Amino acid sequence: MDSETRSYRTGSEEVVLDLTDDCAEFVSGRGDGQLFVFVPHATAGIAIIETGAGSDDDLLAALGDLLPADDRWRHRHGTRGHGRSHVMPAIVPPSATVPVLGGRLALGTWQSVCLVDLNVDNPDREVRFSFLG
């Protein structure tokens, strides 16, 4: 298995960051196999969704409805509602697997691989890409 870790700056706002181009670059020329994408953080996840047509904003809105940024959370350090960021990976898991055919991601037409980060206290993230051929 071949792996690489890349760093991303997500900033101080909730974000859905499209990683598809980086994923495609990582698997380019590798033949058939599987790409594993993993975020080694307790407060971030990986989603395969449509982006650019509002779905990424819809995902953040839905997570805001499901996991409000208020004082209900027992995990209370950091900014108000930070505890919800620790619950989010149960909904948006920290990993995804994408088939690779002929060195190309076998995603559907509108699918993108995205980093989902609600944690405004940690602007720096790492994502591990691993290829199994």
Partnered with residue 9 across adjacent β-strands are 124
Residue 61 pLDDT = 96
Partnered with residue 4 across adjacent β-strands are 129
Q: What CATH number matches the domain at 2-132, 2.60.120.460, 2.30.110.10, 2.130.10.10, 2.60.40.10?
A: 2.60.120.460
Residue 77 pLDDT = 80
Residue 11 pLDDT = 87
Residue 78 pLDDT = 78
Output the average pLDDT for the chain: 94
Mean pLDDT for the stretch of residues 99-121: 96
Residue 125 pLDDT = 96
Burial group, residue 67, by CB count within 10 angstroms (0-12, 13-18, 19+)? buried
Mean pLDDT for the stretch of residues 57-64: 96
Residue with more model confidence, 81 or 46: 46
Partnered with residue 100 across adjacent β-strands are 33, 105
Residue 79 pLDDT = 82
The full set of domain ranges for the chain reads 2-132
pLDDT at 83 > cutoff 90: no
Sheet architecture: strand order including 33-38: 2-9, 124-132, 33-38, 95-101, 104-105
